[in-house]
């Protein structure tokens, strides 16, 4: 494994860093305060090719590797996790799922505008009673011959009202259990498809999170992804890559908080010298830096394995489990380093602390990652 980034990867990293500082940072506190979706910023992310980074160029993507993708996710997340989660969902879940498993017609119709950033997508798995349990889908898709009749509710959907294309997991044949699950492409505006109110969240408040309701929505047969009964495998394969994106987001949140704490500690003085000269603070910073670097290695390794075409199930789950834990620990310490100022919104660290918590929840909680890891190491 190469520990040195290529010139192209360094350029992509710098481009993401510049974008985060110049485009995301101005107004990020206001967007968080008022739960404003970063419409203009997401449009520019699409123009930069960040919304379809790993999609091949023939389908409108940038054709880049997974390591480049996590570099971008890390830099964006240092400043605004509400914007980076749009990049994560569109790349890891929506575009990946369509390119890997969609038909030629589906790729032409849906993947191209998604990869180019013309539109954004949403991945719809979680439900009120099932959470992210793909085996327990209460949303149903009744086979009516040349179309499916979709009924049910999906919860906690990122890009819920701003997406144009939705990948929906639903149960077609309950008697077959997980083998009777399918994945469908649903378009905004289909009759019977309604979007609930925006969730008032603790963190990633600029992210567009809604419940979706499907009431006798007619989904054309050609909008089913893969063979009949492929939905469960589709969800599992797609979520596997999604963990890398969330791990990179957690890493970025932690790194952003650390950078702010380090700068503050070197500027803030007490007892006649910078607080970074006091061991109590210096040791905190040392622990934060070490944890972040360990998380970075796990995240980069998972992305590298994906690029090599090797199994990354274990690495991806380890990266998400550890990076999300580090995100919480580091952001809490960053607030502590800032003291009373850490409790004030203009210093950013309290927002990063609130944003960090979601990385332990979505795309599978820490306990789910522990289950995946234990299964892999004990198999």
Instruction: Return d(Cα 216, Cα 294) in angstroms, integer.
Output: 49
Identify the residue with better confidence: 26 or 131. 26
Q: Kindly state whether residues 162 and 278 are assigned to the same domain.
A: no
**Rounded to whole angstroms, what are the CA distances from 48 to 120, 237, 257, 300, 303?**
14, 27, 25, 22, 21
**Is residue 132 very low, low, confident or very high in pLDDT (cuts 50, 70, 90)?**
low
Strands 147-158 and 140-143: antiparallel
Domain boundary among 231, 251, 273: 231
pTM for the predicted model, two decimal places: 0.95
1 inside domain: no
Instruction: Return d(Cα 44, Cα 107) in angstroms, integer.
Output: 23
In contact, 114 and 121? CB cutoff 8 Å? yes
How confident is the model over 266-317, as pLDDT tens digits?
A: 998 888 899 999 999 999 999 999 999 999 999 999 999 999 999 999 999 9
Q: Kindly state whether residues 298 and 374 are assigned to the same domain.
A: yes
Percentage of the chain with pLDDT > 90? 90
Residue 11 has pLDDT above 80, yes or no: yes
Q: Kindly state whether residues 209 and 288 are assigned to the same domain.
A: no
Query: Which CATH number characterizes residue 109's domain?
Result: 1.10.540.10
**Is residue 375 very low, low, confident or very high in pLDDT (cuts 50, 70, 90)?**
confident
Percentage of the chain with pLDDT > 70? 97
Q: Kindly state whether residues 253 and 369 are assigned to the same domain.
A: yes
Residue 8 is among the residues annotated as catalytic for this protein: no
Q: What is the dihedral of CA 322, 53, 208, 257, to 10 degrees?
A: 40
Q: Kindly state whether residues 135 and 72 are assigned to the same domain.
A: no
Strands 181-187 and 140-143: unpaired
Query: Which CATH number characterizes residue 304's domain?
Result: 1.20.140.10
Q: Kindly state whether residues 221 and 108 are assigned to the same domain.
A: no
Task: State which residues form the domain around 243.
Answer: 238-378
23, 99, 333, 363: which one is catalytic? 363
How confident is the model over 325-369, as pLDDT tens digits?
A: 999 999 999 999 999 999 999 999 999 999 999 999 876 667 788
36 inside domain: yes
Number of domains in the chain: 3
Query: Taking Cα atoms as reference points, which of 85, 79, 76, 86 lies closest to residue 46?
Result: 86
Residue 189 has pLDDT above 80, yes or no: yes
Q: Kindly state whether residues 297 and 336 are assigned to the same domain.
A: yes
Q: Kindly state whether residues 88 and 133 are assigned to the same domain.
A: no
Residue 323 has pLDDT above 60, yes or no: yes
In contact, 212 and 157? CB cutoff 8 Å? yes
Q: Kindly state whether residues 223 and 286 are assigned to the same domain.
A: no
342 inside domain: yes
* pLDDT reported for residue 1: 62
Q: Kindly state whether residues 201 and 266 are assigned to the same domain.
A: no
* pLDDT reported for residue 266: 95
**Is residue 376 very low, low, confident or very high in pLDDT (cuts 50, 70, 90)?**
confident
* pLDDT reported for residue 362: 77
Domain boundary among 212, 231, 250: 231
Domain boundary among 120, 143, 161: 120
| Mean pLDDT, the chain, integer | 95
Lowest mean pLDDT among 59-63, 141-145, 314-318, 369-373: 369-373
Q: Kindly state whether residues 358 and 242 are assigned to the same domain.
A: yes
Query: Which CATH number characterizes residue 196's domain?
Result: 2.40.110.10
Residue 167 has pLDDT above 70, yes or no: yes
2 inside domain: no
* pLDDT reported for residue 13: 98
339 inside domain: yes
């Amino acid at each position: 494994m190469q520990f040195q980034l290529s010139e192209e990867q360094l350029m992509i990293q710098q481009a993401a860093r510049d974008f985060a500082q110049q485009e995301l940072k101005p107004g990020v506190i206001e967007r968080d305060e008022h739960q404003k979706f970063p419409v203009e910023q997401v449009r520019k992310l699409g123009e930069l090719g960040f919304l379809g980074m790993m999609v091949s160029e023939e389908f409108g993507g940038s054709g880049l590797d997974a390591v480049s993708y996590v570099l971008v996710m890390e830099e964006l997340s240092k400043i605004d996790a509400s914007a980076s989660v749009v990049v994560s969902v569109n790349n890891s879940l929506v575009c990946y799922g369509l390119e890997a498993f969609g038909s030629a017609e589906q790729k032409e119709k849906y993947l191209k505008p998604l990869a180019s950033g013309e539109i954004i997508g949403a991945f719809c798995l979680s439900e009120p009673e099932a959470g992210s349990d793909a085996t327990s889908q209460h949303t149903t898709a009744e086979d009516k011959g040349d179309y499916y009749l979709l009924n049910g509710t999906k919860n906690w959907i990122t890009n819920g009202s701003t997406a144009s294309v939705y990948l929906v997991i639903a149960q077609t044949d309950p008697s077959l259990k997980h083998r009777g699950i399918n994945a469908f492409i649903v378009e905004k505006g289909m009759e019977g498809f309604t979007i609930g109110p925006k969730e008032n969240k603790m963190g990633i408040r600029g992210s567009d999170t809604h419940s979706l309701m499907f009431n006798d929505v007619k989904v054309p047969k050609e909008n089913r992804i893969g063979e009949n009964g492929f939905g469960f495998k589709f969800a599992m394969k797609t979520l596997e890559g999604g963990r890398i994106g969330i791990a990179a987001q957690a890493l970025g949140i932690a790194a952003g908080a650390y950078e702010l704490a380090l700068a503050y500690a070197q500027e803030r003085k007490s007892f006649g010298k910078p607080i970074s000269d006091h061991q109590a603070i210096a040791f905190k910073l040392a622990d934060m830096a070490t944890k972040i670097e360990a998380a970075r290695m796990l995240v980069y390794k998972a992305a590298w394995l994906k690029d090599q075409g090797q199994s990354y199930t274990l690495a991806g789950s380890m990266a998400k489990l550890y990076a999300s834990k580090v995100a919480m620990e580091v952001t809490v310490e960053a607030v502590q380093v800032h003291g009373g100022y850490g409790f004030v919104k203009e210093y950013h660290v309290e927002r990063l602390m609130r944003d960090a918590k979601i990385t332990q929840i979505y795309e599978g909680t820490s306990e789910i990652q522990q289950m995946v890891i234990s299964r892999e190491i004990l198999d």
